[in-house]
Amino acid sequence: MRTVRTLLASAILAAGLAITLTATPAHAETLRNVYYTSSECYRVGNLGVSSGWWTYYHCDLQYNFWFLYA
């Protein structure tokens, strides 16, 4: 009985670890760079999409800088 409980506990922990390691956020955004102008931010964003670096992006104006998230 003790070995059965030990094996069962090990299997449950392994399954939990496997689920945790394979789970990813649906739309994780990463800050790619910061730019002085909106045109530069959008230019690099479009370059990233056309080059296959990311599938979507957006530029946000904060503190007089443009932040590229992809």
CA distance 48 to 40: 12
Residue 18 CA to residue 59 CA, distance in Å, equals: 35
d(CA 38, CA 6): 59
Q: Given pLDDT bands bounded at 50, 70 and 90, which one contains residue 2? A: confident
Domain extent at residue 27 = 2-69
Instruction: Give the torsion through C-alpha atoms of 36, 40, 41, 45, to 10 deg.
Output: -160
- 3-class SS of residue 30: coil
Model's pTM, two decimal places? 0.60
Q: What pLDDT digit, counting tens, does each position of 6-58 carry?
A: 655 566 666 555 555 565 555 678 999 999 999 999 999 999 999 999 999 99
3 state SS of 61: strand
- How many distinct structural domains can be found in the chain? 1
